[in-house]
Structure 1
Amino acid sequence: MAQFYKPQARTAKLQRLTDQQVVGLDHQGRGVVRTAKGVKFVPGALPDERVTITVQGKHDAQLERIQTVSEQRVTPPCAFYEQCGGCDLQHLALAAQRAHKQKVVTEMLAKFAQVEALQWLEPLAGDAWHYRRRARLAVHYDAKRQQFKMGFRAPKSKRITVIDACLVLAESLNKLIAPLQHLLPQLELVKQLGHVELIEFEHQVVVLLRLREWPTASDQNHLEQFSKTYNVAIWCDSEQQLAPLSTSEPLSYHTVGLSIHCSPTNFIQAHRQLSEIMVEQALTWLDIQPSDKVLELYAGSGNFSLPMALAGAQVTAIEGVASMVDQLKANAHRAQVNLAAFCTDLEQSWSSQAWSNEQYTKVLLDPARAGAPHAIQEVATRQPQRIVYVSCAPDTLARDAKVLKESGYQLKQAQVVDMFPQTHHIEVMTLFERE
């Protein structure tokens, strides 16, 4: 048998750089180090520190040692901090986290839109720990080893960091993690379980299981017993249906002036305190008057829409998910408010939409991370007096702010909403007015 020479694969030698100055943080909260071979981004490093790093790619590096420690550095209290990919700013003091987030938004608005806020308000802030009312837990079952893992993904990895508690989760959710880790491997459904969601609603905690098929009768019995023991509702979301395993009281969350009924798959803001405070701020900025016709885009199940209608505005709410539009209409009927709701893809032309021909005095939009590239153009051509734009992505906010600036709008006020303490994720509210 002929043998052919096969050279051994070379392993690139990692470059170690000592005594490097950290000059700032990027938008992901990573330390910025300017080396002779270009800028490197270093998770865990803070401005004004001198560090030793190992270069791991064209722009990435790993923190090895800190020679000079920043005054803003704190000891992360979470036991899983170095293994979990979630709360990546626990090493930075809370006030510094908020200042950094405002700086990121300011710089992106200046760089991509040449826009500067006339006034920055103090960040809206609530609890920094045990604030999160919704979490998605990754799961994996190794049938060969009969090994079950449930937790959060490791940084930049599909590997699961198994946890027994999380410092940012609401306590009502935290106490379910260990019992679920014990129960789920005993069930037949563990082999086809996609992930587990824990959600704290106003009067009910929900465990939502994402499955390919509906649970067997035996699994349902075990789950219903778990439901009674821990006083939670078990919902299953399979390819066939989304439903509770047994009769469940309506799920709801509170907003300004009322409670909103919703499905466990509907979007709700993560921070259990700040969602309602954010709505109050939007109402203040919009200064609702009885004569106002307000257009709300990406309306969800009514978190902003219904309080605006209760305040006296004529509200037209647009949402792209049909089931959420139905929920919004039902919520409006329950609250006895007059509100028009439509299901529309806002990133398509509005020309055929009857609601788009109305004259609106004010607009509120709260899009997903992709922002509103088409919708903002449509809004700008209609020239409402005021626009409140709520964003969870400063880069797409800056892109859309440029459109508003070119259409004669001025950024009057801006405010960071610390919706995600201990992480680099940013929520921000902005108020634009016609010049």
Structure 2
Amino acid sequence: MSEAEQIIRIAARGDGVTAGGTHVAGGVTGDALLPDGSLERGPHHVDPPCRHFERCGGCQLQRMDEDILAEFVRSRVANAAEGQGLPTDIVTPAYLSPPKSRRRATLHAINGGGRPVIGFREARSHQVVDLKECHVLAPELFTLVEPLRQLLSHWPGKYACDIDLACAEQGVACDIRKLTFEGLDQTQALLDFAQGEGLTRLTIDQGYGTEAIWEPEPVSIDLGGISVGFPAGAFLQATADGEAALVGAAREWLGDCARIADLFSGLGTFAFALRDGAKIDAYEASRDSSLACLLASRRRQAGVEAHHRDLFRNPLRAGELAPFDGVVLDPPRAGAKEQVGQLAASAVPRIVYVSCNPQSWAKDAKVLVEGGYELREIRPVGQFRWSTHVELVSFFERRE
């Protein structure tokens, strides 16, 4: 390399890429790769706010300013669409969740016989970074890290457990998996921790199923103004504002529909938000989530009918979709190949597809377009700030 090469974009895993195609770890759009292999910072390269950056696998993009971060999120979605021959001029600017807004997360705790280590794993490694600060977690979640260290510092033997934290209406729910306990002393330590930290729930899964240690009142989350029971392990959008962005798009595009099917509905994030003036049928494979949705709807007479159904093995057929004038679906990362095939063969006028994986979404979107739908708009959403994990919400209308 005889002269400096400017970095012109960010690759999917967060590396900078020069015009010549060279990948540069730590590079940002506008930086220059010098002939000696060093990096000269450009106008969009900033100091990462967190001391753990580059070790912690929770963030990959803290060295970018807001403009480049937003463009990265948008380009991930646009590139996925382009790869399947879908239009990219309908991709809007990205929405980004602010720092310290993540309301759910899974931390890992390990003990090799010494001091507990609690945090996120390093990138592509099972090593755990011992968190001293975090700029993505909501403060009420991060403040539990040190008390968890204190709790586990007295735990006998070796362990490697997962700690699910989530902000509920009543406070923070803490669900610990792969941690064994026995006897009155350990049980009392868990109770003292839960009470002392004001947890709304503490559960332990020793490998035989979830066991409630502390739950003074039923735990719930607010979805569309309805309090819905929140079972341990149930899905919750990563940030409240990110959820609002996704839900707002669905309301905008399906707000005047009379009957809507919510597919892969979880606890009813979209179902309850869309219920005003519409009859909603919510389909979900998780029995606990489907039951929580059903009970909440009946308790408040919210007009949401919940159905326990595995849409991977038993998708709604085109004929079953006939009564609906709108569909919203939010499948797991793998996408919804079988269900999308039935949607493509249906006559549903409008479809809102929410996705946490632009690549699987693009494949499904192509099927819908080939089946007679027009892709009207795509909105990228960066709920997982400073991460390469990207989400989107998209709108399809059946061509006449």
1:179 corresponds in structure 2 to: 147
Q: Residue 111 of structure 1 is aligned with which of 72, 78, 83?
A: 83
Select between 223-232 and 246-255 the one with higher mean Cα deviation: 246-255
1:371 corresponds in structure 2 to: 335
Relative to 1, partners in 2 of residues 1:49 and 1:377: Cα closer, same or farther, differing over 3 Å? same
1:135-174 pair list within 5 angstroms = 135-143=105-113, 146-174=114-142
Select between 236-245 and 324-333 the one with higher mean Cα deviation: 236-245
Any gaps of 5 or more consecutive residues in structure 2?
Answer: none
SS at match of 1:24: strand
SS at match of 1:160: coil
Counterparts of 1:159 and 1:139, CA distance in 2 = 10
- Could you report, residue by residue, the CA deviation over 1:175-205 in whole angstroms, capped at 9, with x for unpaired residues? 11112112202024x6345212222112211
SS at match of 2:146: helix
1:96 corresponds in structure 2 to: 68
Asked if the contact 1:22–1:48 (Cα under 8 Å) also holds between the matched residues in 2, the reply is yes
Asked if the contact 1:380–1:407 (Cα under 8 Å) also holds between the matched residues in 2, the reply is yes
1:256 corresponds in structure 2 to: 224
SS at match of 1:370: coil
Partner amino acid, structure 1, of 2:25? P
Shift of 1:359: 2.5
Q: Residue 12 of structure 2 is aligned with which of 2, 13, 27?
A: 27
Shift of 1:293: 2.0
Asked if the contact 2:321–2:346 (Cα under 8 Å) also holds between the matched residues in 1, the reply is no
- Alignment of 1:345 with 2:310, yes or no, is yes
Counterparts of 1:141 and 1:17, CA distance in 2 = 50
1:124 corresponds in structure 2 to: 95
- Alignment of 1:42 with 2:27, yes or no, is no
Q: Residue 316 of structure 1 is aligned with which of 281, 286, 308?
A: 281
1:209 corresponds in structure 2 to: 176
- Alignment of 1:329 with 2:294, yes or no, is yes
Counterparts of 1:209 and 1:220, CA distance in 2 = 14
Counterparts of 1:156 and 1:97, CA distance in 2 = 22
Asked if the contact 1:98–1:416 (Cα under 8 Å) also holds between the matched residues in 2, the reply is no
Counterparts of 2:366 and 2:67, CA distance in 1 = 29
- Alignment of 1:228 with 2:210, yes or no, is no
Partner amino acid, structure 1, of 2:392? V
Counterparts of 1:355 and 1:226, CA distance in 2 = 53
Q: Residue 423 of structure 1 is aligned with which of 361, 383, 387?
A: 387
- Could you report, residue by residue, the CA deviation over 1:295-316 in whole angstroms, capped at 9, with x for unpaired residues? 111100111112222x122222
Shift of 1:125: 3.9
- Could you report, residue by residue, the CA deviation over 1:368-410 in whole angstroms, capped at 9, with x for unpaired residues? 1111111111111112111101111111111011011101111
- Could you report, residue by residue, the CA deviation over 1:199-240 in whole angstroms, capped at 9, with x for unpaired residues? 211221122211364543211101211222211132212333
SS at match of 1:90: coil
Q: Residue 259 of structure 2 is aligned with which of 288, 293, 309?
A: 293
Shift of 1:171: 0.6
Shift of 1:323: 1.7
Asked if the contact 1:33–1:40 (Cα under 8 Å) also holds between the matched residues in 2, the reply is yes
- Could you report, residue by residue, the CA deviation over 1:29-78 in whole angstroms, capped at 9, with x for unpaired residues? 2212476xxx5533321223222699xxxxxxxxx731x32211111010
Relative to 1, partners in 2 of residues 1:295 and 1:213: Cα closer, same or farther, differing over 3 Å? same
Counterparts of 1:236 and 1:34, CA distance in 2 = 51
Counterparts of 1:104 and 1:239, CA distance in 2 = 38
Whose radius of gyration is greater, 1 or 2?
A: 1
Counterparts of 2:196 and 2:331, CA distance in 1 = 39
- Alignment of 1:361 with 2:325, yes or no, is yes
Partner amino acid, structure 2, of 1:283? R
2:104 corresponds in structure 1 to: 134
Partner amino acid, structure 1, of 2:38? R
Asked if the contact 1:150–1:181 (Cα under 8 Å) also holds between the matched residues in 2, the reply is yes
Q: Residue 205 of structure 2 is aligned with which of 226, 237, 241?
A: 237
Relative to 1, partners in 2 of residues 1:307 and 1:84: Cα closer, same or farther, differing over 3 Å? same
Relative to 1, partners in 2 of residues 1:184 and 1:249: Cα closer, same or farther, differing over 3 Å? same
Asked if the contact 1:117–1:412 (Cα under 8 Å) also holds between the matched residues in 2, the reply is no
Identity of aligned residues (%): 26
Shift of 1:354: 11
1:380-399 pair list within 5 angstroms = 380-399=344-363
- Could you report, residue by residue, the CA deviation over 1:110-156 in whole angstroms, capped at 9, with x for unpaired residues? 122x1115644443344x2111111211122213xx34322211122
Counterparts of 1:358 and 1:400, CA distance in 2 = 20
SS at match of 2:253: helix
Counterparts of 2:41 and 2:159, CA distance in 1 = 47
CA RMSD of aligned residues (A): 2.5
Relative to 1, partners in 2 of residues 1:19 and 1:107: Cα closer, same or farther, differing over 3 Å? same
Residue-pair matches, total: 398
Q: Residue 69 of structure 1 is aligned with which of 20, 35, 41?
A: 41
TM-score scaled by length of structure 2: 0.92
SS at match of 1:422: coil
Partner amino acid, structure 1, of 2:326? K
Select between 414-423 and 40-49 the one with higher mean Cα deviation: 40-49
Partner amino acid, structure 1, of 2:260? V
